[in-house]
Amino acid sequence: SRAVPELVAERGGTAVRSRVGHSYIKGLMAETGAIFGGEHSAHYYFRDFWGADSGMLAALHVLAALGEQDRPLSDMMADY
């Protein structure tokens, strides 16, 4: 999505595109020092989780964000 690079830039980051595939994404993340990587196929990679692909960790991050807010997820996602 074109929205992802824009949102990353708004928050001070740099979005980098990679060839599709677990090994390519993990390699580019290591090369660039990326903290997060993701694919449209719902694979999410986290540097602080040894670059592992983890949907469970992604869900935990969403739950943590929900716990910090006093509004429902639907309100948090309305702008996207």
What pLDDT, on the 0 to 100 scale, is given for residue 26?
92
What pLDDT, on the 0 to 100 scale, is given for residue 2?
78
**Would you write out the chain's pLDDT as a tens digit for each of its 80 residues?**
678 899 999 999 999 999 999 899 999 999 999 999 988 888 889 988 777 788 888 899 889 989 999 999 899 888 77
Contacts (Cβ under 8 Å, ≥6 apart) of 44: 36, 37, 38, 53, 54, 55, 57, 58
- Give the residue numbers spanning the domain of 27: 3-76
Domain CATH number, residue 68 = 3.40.120.10
Q: Is the pTM of this model over 0.85?
A: no
Contacts (Cβ under 8 Å, ≥6 apart) of 16: 28, 32, 34
Number of domains in the chain: 1
What pLDDT, on the 0 to 100 scale, is given for residue 48?
85
